Structure 1
Amino acid sequence: MGRPNSDVPGAVLFAHSSIRFRYLITAAVCIGVGGGVLASAYYYLLELGLATAWGPLHSALTAAFGGDALARGLALVAVTTLGGLCVGVILRFMGVPGEIAAVVNNIHVHNGRLDIQQTPAMTAVSLVSITAGGSAGPEAPLVQIIGSLGSWLGDKLRWTAHVRTLTFCGMAAALGAFFGAPLGGALFALEIPHRNGLEYYEALIPSLTAAYVSYFIFLVLVHPEAPLLTFAGQPEALAVPMAQAMALGAAGALVALLFMFIFRKIGEWLERWERHRIALATFAGFAIGALAVTVPEGLHLNVLFWSEHQLQDVYDGLGTFQAIGIGSALLWLAWAALAKMAAIGFTLHGGLRGGFIFPLFFLGAVTGMAIHLVTGGWVSLPVAMLCTMSAVNVAVTRTPISSTIILTTLSDTHMLPIIGAASITSFLLTSRVVLIVTQRRRESIVPARPSIPTWHDVTAAE
């Protein structure tokens, strides 16, 4: 049949030829394989970095500072500060890679192309950022790395009208592998560019294909633990849990609004340092470490890192919170949430790179724990945590469908209707509030930005 005509709109081209559609699916499979390999390589590099920074390096610094509890805290701050310094140096000499706002913007312009030339800087900066304890995860860097692979393949094949679809395939492959939820990951990639649900429907099946292939490759190469969250007891989708879910959705929306306020204020405060990349990133690393040492280790509320593995710690800490008394527990939970909000702000506004999906889940988890304690257990802990986790994330990212599916998958529960009720409630209550202002409808025609949007651009545009 020959090469597909690049002048035909993407939504139409493959509708009339199953052979040509197979070309696109073949490309999606290739992206999935490449994405799975790249995600696995990134995972192992990250594990090596974490083991080094928080093993020999942290131990050596602790011993140098005296070896006691105070020394451990000082060593922690030293590691995060050193990490921030390294990030600043990388930004100075390799350039500043785009953030989620830039990725979303690029989906809507230049046929949805992500610049593969930003991948080296994004890889280096994000690995150091996450290793140093920054409150941002691997999902956004992987979206850039593997999404740009899809764009590159589209350019090489000269499928100009389908570069966006192949970019989505790369994004879906990244999120499918990282989340361990290929269906949810693919839908998240398609939802995130918009404020009111996915609109690039022609990319759905190719993106799902890439996500499942990538997930399979990741399973073979990494053997990740599953499920990420384990809960004792799961309520049925009856009237009371459903009503609770809607109330929890509203509570999560309020937490998200507070987060967005703090996030913007930190951005405004750090704006004066934007031209001083090394100083800004170093200060951000110091701030992240300083916030972390304010929370006692025994409370299961570690505000370092991207919080993927801290979610189970929050759930397992129920006995500890009950032992110290509800009043003290609520104070520490509130402080941990505020510290995490500030840590996310310093991470992303300070030049460190990563995604905030799991950090947002952490905010929801501690909120859910607080609600469970306040209600004396009337709202079960699985319902309280999962519903508020989804609600906070949905309010910020505008992804109600994928967030529901991802959390249902990660928790290995049958609570999809309950989590979905909280997600939709939060989505509707925050419909007029947007953090990522580059999210828009697909028919909007906006000139390409002359430079990479920063978080300051995002907040200033409002």
Structure 2
Amino acid sequence: MDFKRKRLAVALRNQINYPLQFNPFVFSKLFLLWVAVGIVGGVIASFYWTVLEELLHYLSHFQGLTVIPLMTVAGLLAGLVIHFLGDPGEMDLIVNNIRFKGGRLEPKNNPSMILSSWLCIASGGSAGPEAPLVQVVGSTGTWIAKKLKLRGEDLRSLSIAGMASAFTALFGAPLGGSLFALEIQHHKHISEYYQALIPALVASCSGYAIFIFITHIGIGPTWVFPMYATPALNDFFYAMLYALAGTAAGWIFIFTVRKSRSLFEAVKLPIYVRMAIGGLLIGTIAYFVPLSRYFSHNELNVLLQEEFTLQFLLLLVAAKILAIAFTVTSGWRGGFIIPLFFLGATVGLVVHNLFPGQNLPLIMVSCMAAINACVTRTPISTAILLATMTGFHQFVPIIFASLTGFFLAPKTPLINAQLGVKE
């Protein structure tokens, strides 16, 4: 007890003797570092997105049969980039490094990640830019921390802040992006990561402000959803029912990805050959079902604006599942969050075709929430992201659907690092 009193007396004496060092606010110098990481992340995301849009515009002119050779060559070139510049790894590696390597994300393979992901995404792969940007901006946060000689949780917080700012720049939801950067690392000891929530949120806000300032992208909903009718008392119950369809699609997707991964791993081929084969398969699917091409950021609006038959929607569900699976297992770079939202929306339209007269926006958003929560195990951030990106502001039904997908997910996650076991 005397020792504690002496320590308190020394602390008070120091504050009196050095009043300029006394800060009465929560604000600290680390706040400026989080802001700086967010700003850097916003600049990187803006540059990445601007170049990607130009490439998408140019390569979108390849239609019909030309899609197949285009995507085969794109896969080959991206594979050669990875072969010569280094393998940047995937989401499993990011999660493991955050958990077991003190939050260190190595920036040395960022050129490989940027170039290969540009080729993969712009040519029409069914994976989006969120995963590459998370790696690039997160590792930039690590680099800044190392330059400032930060260690421990301070270093980890800057890496996670970079990840969060990358998520937010693309999804336009600072809180949702921050939570996603934490939830994607889910395992039974997830609580240890929530101490990084404030750093992630600060970086997300500053990064998003820079991103929209440079790119001039609006801050409204990403997709134009039908107007949601007056909320009913039992909407949360219906959301859980609709979520069962999205969860079932999530199970099918996980099963397909695992089978596809085992097939590619069984055949020992150089990365560039494997990616060329992946491009051939994805390109063939895109030729027969063009709406399955790309990571579905714009294609989801097409799905919302036009009417499709039940037969086509079922075909699109199957094609998109295969396209995403071949993309992520053959070595093509990109993330599958937005493609999963597209897949969930398609499943929602199938449900609406089978049971017409039901609440279409509620069905679609419920299926989107359930499939993403089932596959990525991110129920809270998924609900927030969807509420922001769709303009569906009745948050309660979305969270019920998201939790349904989460708790009915397979026991073994698709992202192996979420098990919490060092690989």
Shorter-chain TM-score above 0.5: yes
Aligned length: 399
Identity %: 39
Letter of the 1:342 partner, please give it. L
Matching residue of 1:459:
none
Match of 2:304 in 1: 315
Structure-2 change in CA distance of 1:408 and 1:271 (3 Å) = same
- 1:401-416 residue pairs with structure 2 within 5 A? 401-416=380-395
Q: Deviations over 1:234-287 (max 9, x none)?
A: 134423321110012222111100000011111111113443222111111111
Residue 312 of structure 2 aligns with an amino acid whose one-letter code is W
Residue of structure 1 equivalent to 2:106 = 115
Paired position in structure 1 for 2:13: none
CA deviations 1:152-208 (Å, max 9, x no partner) are 111111111121111110001101111011110011001110146654122111110
Structure 1 residue ranges, 4+ long, deviating more than 6 angstroms after superposition: 16-20
* Partner Cα distance (1:233, 1:19) in 2: 44
Tell me if structure 2 keeps the 8 A contact 1:235–1:241. Answer: no
Residue in structure 2 matching 1:384, options 363, 373, 398: 363
- Aligned counterpart, 1:285: 279
Which residue matches 1:428? Answer: 407
2:44 maps to a residue whose letter is: L
In 1, the alpha carbon distance for the partners of 2:26 and 2:84 equals 43
Q: What is the DSSP-based 3-state SS (H/G/I as helix, E as strand, rest coil) of the residue aligned with 1:305?
A: coil
CA separation in 2, counterparts of 1:274 and 1:184?
Answer: 39
Q: Say if 2:292 is the partner of 1:303.
A: yes
Which residue matches 1:62?
Answer: none
Counterpart residue type for residue 411 of structure 1: T
Q: RMSD of aligned C-alpha atoms?
A: 1.8
Aligned-pair distance for 1:96?
1.4
- In the alignment, the residues of structure 2 paired with residue 412 and residue 229 of structure 1 have an alpha-carbon distance, to the nearest angstrom, of 8
Match of 2:223 in 1: 229
Counterpart of 1:170? 162
For the residue of structure 2 that corresponds to 1:438, the secondary structure is helix
**2:115 counterpart residue number:** 124
Unaligned runs of 5+ in 2: 1-21
CA pair 103-274 structure 1, distance change in 2 beyond 3 A: farther
Alpha carbons of structure 1 residues 377 and 74: separation in structure 2 relative to 1, 3 Å: same
Amino acid at match of 1:191: E
Give the Cα–Cα distance (whole angstroms) in 2 for the partners of residues 289 and 348 of structure 1.
Answer: 14
Letter in 2 for 1:164: R
| 1-structure distance, mates of 2:300, 2:124 | 16
Counterpart residue number, 2:319:
339
In 2, the alpha carbon distance for the partners of 1:437 and 1:92 equals 24
> Matches of 1:213 and 1:274 in 2, distance apart?
44
CA distance in 2, matches of 1:17, 1:244: 51
Change (3 A) 1:77 1:315: same
2:197 maps to a residue whose letter is: L
Per the normalisation by structure 1, the TM-score is 0.83
The corresponding residue for 1:133 is 124
Q: In the alignment, what sits opposite 1:82?
A: 73
Query: Partner of 2:288: helix, strand, or coil?
Result: coil
Residue type of the partner of 2:70?
V
Question: Which of 206, 213, 226 is residue 220 of structure 1 equivalent to?
Answer: 213
Normalised by the length of structure 2, the TM-score is 0.90
Question: What is residue 104 of structure 1 aligned with on the other side?
Answer: 95
The one-letter code of the counterpart of 2:205 is Y
- 2:96 aligned partner, one-letter code: N
Q: What is the CA–CA distance in structure 2 between the aligned matches of 1:424 and 1:96, rounded to whole Å?
A: 35
Is contact 1:195–1:398 with CA below 8 Å preserved after alignment? no
Runs (5+) with no aligned partner, structure 1: 1-15, 59-71, 322-328, 450-462
1:203 aligns with 2:182: no
